[in-house]
Amino acid sequence: MIDTMGLGGLGRFGAYRRLLGLTRRLEEPEQETARVLCVASGKGGTGKSILASNLALLRARQGERVLLVDFDAGLANAHLLLGLAPEYDLSHVMQGQVSASEALVEGPHGLKLLSGGVGRHVLANPTRRELDRLFKALRPLEGSFDLIVVDHGAGLGYATVTHLAATSTLLLVTNHEVTALSDSYALYKRAHLVNPHITVGLVVNRVPDEPAATSAWERFRGASQRFLGHSPELVGWVPVDPAVVRSVERRVPVAVGEPESPAARAILSIARWGSIDHARSARPFFERARSALR
Q: How confident is the model over 92-149, as pLDDT tens digits?
A: 999 999 999 999 999 999 999 999 877 666 677 788 999 999 999 999 999 999 999 9
pLDDT digits (tens, 9 = 90+) for 207-226: 999 999 999 999 999 999 99
The CA-atom distances, in angstroms, between 13 and each of 2, 7, 10, 25, 78 are: 13, 11, 7, 19, 58
Q: What pLDDT shows up at residue 189?
A: 97
The distance in angstroms from the start CA to the end CA of the chain is 45
Q: pTM to 2 decimals? A: 0.88
Helix (H) or strand (E) holding 36: strand 35-40
Question: Which ranges of the chain would DSSP assign to H, the alpha helix?
Answer: 11-27, 48-61, 78-82, 90-94, 121-124, 128-138, 158-166, 178-194, 210-227, 242-250, 254-257, 262-271, 285-293
Q: Which CB contacts under 8 angstroms, 24+ apart, belong to 260-263?
A: 263/238, 263/239
The domain limits of the chain are 1-30, 34-293
The CA-atom distances, in angstroms, between 178 and each of 127, 175, 183, 215, 219 are: 33, 8, 9, 11, 9
- Asked whether 237 and 203 are in contact (CB, 8 A), the reply is yes
Percent of the chain with pLDDT over 70: 87
The CA-atom distances, in angstroms, between 179 and each of 36, 46, 239 are: 28, 11, 18
Q: What is the fold, at CATH topology level, of the domain defined by 34-293?
A: Rossmann fold (3.40.50)
